[in-house]
Amino acid sequence: MNGLHLSAELHACAGDPVWLTDATRLREAGLRAVVEAGLQPVGAVFHQFSGQTPDEPGGVTGVVLLAESHLALHTWPELGAVTLDVYVCNRSGDHSDQARQVMAAMQALFRPERVEQREVIRGAVTA
């Protein structure tokens, strides 16, 4: 169960605003990013929030489940902000490079001007 968990908060996203508000396209992009990195999706669920007015699209929250763990994202179009998580366990091999590739691919969509990010090694100590 040891693995690598990457997480990031993206601020001042300057990419196409559709990435902050279109659950269908984000789902496709998330699935594409994990497959292109060589990871194995086993499910996905994305939810489209309503905006504060009918004309204003809301944010998106979604997850791609992986055989190797998960990709999660949450968008706040009113803030131009996104949070990303990519967690891979290394039970069947070291997937750290693939996790970094997925994180980079997703950030490339959103084009944040500023990013806070961290890496946590999980479960390294065994019983």
**Based on CB atoms, which residue is closest to a second copy, 72 or 100?**
72
Among 5, 13, 89, 95, the one annotated catalytic: 89
* Whether 74 is catalytic: yes
Query: Does residue 111 belong to the site contacting a second copy (CB under 8 A)?
Result: no
HEC string of the chain equals CCEEEEEEEEEEECCCCHHHHCHHHHHHHHHHHHHHCCCCEEEEEEEECCCCCCCCCCCEEEEEEECCEEEEEEEECCCCEEEEEEEEECCCCCCHHHHHHHHHHHHHHHCEEEEEEEEEEECCCCC
Q: Of the two residues 90 and 101, which places its CB atom closer to a second copy in the complex? A: 90
Range 67-106, binding a second copy (CB under 8 A)? 67, 69-70, 72, 74, 76, 79-83, 85, 87, 89, 91
Residues 29-68 close enough to bind a second copy by CB under 8 A? 42-47, 49, 61-63, 65-67
